[in-house]
Structures are given as C-alpha cells and as structure tokens.
Amino acid sequence: MSRARQSLGRRGEQLAADYLDAQGLQILARNWRFHGLGEIDLVAQDGDSLVVVEVRTRRSHTFGSPEESITPAKQARLAALAAAYQDEVQWPGPLRIDVVAVVVASDGRLERLSHLRNAVGA
C-alpha cells in the first residue's frame, strides 16, 4: 500500500474517531488485528453495545462512493472479526457493525462523513 493511501486511511480513521467521540461513543481499540482474518479499524462502546466500525475513506468518487466499497466478502469478514473481538474480550452485551464513510478533499479538508449504523449484520 502506498504512503499516500496509508496517510489517507489514517486521516479518515482519525476523523471517524473524532466524530464518534463527539457523538458520545467511547473508543476502545484502534486497528485491532486477528491473525488470518484481518483488522478492525475502530472498536467503540455505545451505551451497552459493542460497536465494530469499518472506516472507508476516499478522495473522490472515481471508483465509487466509500459506502459502495463494502462488498459482500468484506461484510462477511467484518462479521467474523466482530465475533472474534467479542469472544476475545467476552463482551456480554449487544454487538453491531457500523460503517463510517469519509470523503476528504485533495487539500485534506473533510468533504463528507456519513455514519451508517448497523450497516452489516453481525
């Protein structure tokens, strides 16, 4: 992955974390990895719910919107990662998977941020 793409991804994750924090969610983990399955961008707590958050960041709509990049395969991987995290921390309450879609201008300015709750079935 190129440095520019990594930087864009980090920028999107920070914008998403700041937004979720402002909405009252508590960020519990960032970039949590599970061997062989992949990575969860953000894990948060919203009341009694554990929230796994996939952040999708784009500079343009050339390759579609950030939301459109959540393929069925990615949804299945997110559900498996969410279950693995919930099992690892033995979370007793409800679980949901959200998507935060971010569009950042070439100058780094936030153009759009959309928070899609329960975007993926857990």
As assigned by CATH, the class of the 3-120 domain is alpha beta
pTM: 0.90
Query: Per-residue pLDDT tens for 91-102?
Result: 999 999 999 999
Mean pLDDT within 59-72? 76
Q: Which residues neighbour 121 within 8 Å (Cβ) at sequence distance 6 or greater?
A: 75, 79, 97
**Structure tokens that stand for 21 in this block:** 């924090």
Query: Per-residue pLDDT tens for 16-51?
Result: 999 999 999 999 999 999 988 899 999 999 999 999
- The structural domains of the chain, with segments of one domain joined by +, span 3-120
61: confidence class by pLDDT, cuts 50, 70, 90? low
Q: Would you state the pLDDT for residue 62? A: 61
Whether 119 and 99 have beta carbons less than 8 Å apart is answered as: yes
Average pLDDT of the chain is: 90
